[in-house]
Amino acid sequence: MNKNFILNLHPMTKLYFTLFVIAAVLIFPSYVFAFAVFPGLLIVAAISGPHILKEFIGIILKALVILLILVFLMQLFFYPGETVIGEWGIFQWTKEGFDYGLVLTSKILAIGSAFILFFRITEVKDFVKALEDIGLPPMGAYIVMSTLQIIPEMKRQANTIMDAQKTRGVETEGSMLVRAKAFIPTLTPLILSSIASTEERAITLESRAFSAPVKKTSLYKLSKGPADRMLPFAFLLILVGLIIWRVVS
């Protein structure tokens, strides 16, 4: 078992933490609080391990930064407002658009980062097994697992095909145009291999009596520690306190 405290938490505890972060961000109207959530998630990622932190930051930079910039600029230039604070050519930006842009981008950053961190510190098989333990049918668990694994699996297959193309002398590195030309021929084998792997999985599942109308058992078990029993209640109490504060204030 991994000695890291966070990685050893039960998958549902990690999910409760993710939902807690999302609920807290939605309850608090201030963008300062939402932006402050991100450094907290960075600390959690750092405690989880250097490789987790590196992957977490890498995905944020690749997936969220450009989206946040576009969303902020759209709100800055097109959100209706009366207090003009600047202009650029035919565009004007207002204080209302600036504030709403910060609110929206801060919430997207916090919520997106929380989900990204969850899947960095949680194994897909553990998450699916936890869902099964709380009553999700095996068919539903398989659908969830297949959905979560389809992108990484296709990425691995694409890399394998690209490496095979490279050994045949096909130029796969260079400018964007060169890489696009090298990627297009990989689409057909990628689609065919995905269909073949789907058929293989179906045969494997049937050979293991997946569709048999009997109760399924598993040798793989997940256990809960004291922290897994205490943290969900702590999250709930904090959320209740935030809701009361929001109503009263």
Task: Looking at the structure, tell me whether residues 76 and 166 fall in a common domain.
Answer: no
Task: Looking at the structure, tell me whether residues 165 and 242 fall in a common domain.
Answer: no
Question: What pLDDT, in 10s, does the model give residues 24-37?
Answer: 999 888 889 999 99
Handedness of CA 211, 217, 220, 224 (dihedral sign): positive
Task: Looking at the structure, tell me whether residues 104 and 21 fall in a common domain.
Answer: yes
* 117 SS3 class: helix
Handedness of CA 112, 223, 52, 176 (dihedral sign): negative
Q: Which residues pair with 94 in a beta bridge?
A: 84
Does the pLDDT value for residue 10 go beyond 60?
yes
- The pLDDT-based confidence of 240 (bands split at 50, 70, 90) is very high
Task: Looking at the structure, tell me whether residues 142 and 117 fall in a common domain.
Answer: no
Residue with the bigger pLDDT between 17 and 166: it is 17
Task: Looking at the structure, tell me whether residues 108 and 16 fall in a common domain.
Answer: yes
Assess if residue 3 is contained within a domain: no
The rounded mean pLDDT for the chain is 81
Task: Looking at the structure, tell me whether residues 96 and 143 fall in a common domain.
Answer: no
DSSP 214: S
* 216 SS3 class: coil
Question: What pLDDT, in 10s, does the model give residues 167-180?
Answer: 766 666 666 666 66
Alpha helices of the chain — where are they, by DSSP H? 11-27, 31-48, 50-63, 65-78, 95-121, 124-133, 138-167, 176-183, 187-207, 226-248
State percent of the chain over pLDDT 70: 75
Phi, psi for 134 (deg, rounded to 5): -95, 10
Task: Looking at the structure, tell me whether residues 178 and 115 fall in a common domain.
Answer: no
Number of domains into which the chain is organized? 2
Does the pLDDT value for residue 129 go beyond 70?
yes
Nearest C-alpha neighbor of 83 from the set 98, 102, 105: 98
Q: How far is CA 114 from CA 18, 38, 90, 109, 136, in A?
A: 6, 8, 38, 8, 23
For residue 122, the Cα-to-chain-centroid distance in whole angstroms is 11
Task: Looking at the structure, tell me whether residues 117 and 15 fall in a common domain.
Answer: yes
Question: What pLDDT, in 10s, does the model give residues 181-224?
Answer: 666 667 777 777 766 666 666 676 666 666 666 676 677 788 88
Q: What is the mean pLDDT of residues 50-68?
A: 90
What pLDDT score was predicted for residue 170? 62
How buried is residue 91: exposed, middle or buried, by Cβ count under 10 Å (0-12/13-18/19+)?
exposed
- Which residues does 135 contact at the CB level (< 8 Å), separation at least 6? none
Task: Looking at the structure, tell me whether residues 15 and 116 fall in a common domain.
Answer: yes
Question: What pLDDT, in 10s, does the model give residues 78-114?
Answer: 878 777 777 776 677 788 888 888 999 999 999 999 9
Assess if residue 197 is contained within a domain: yes
For residue 40, what are the domain limits?
11-122+223-248
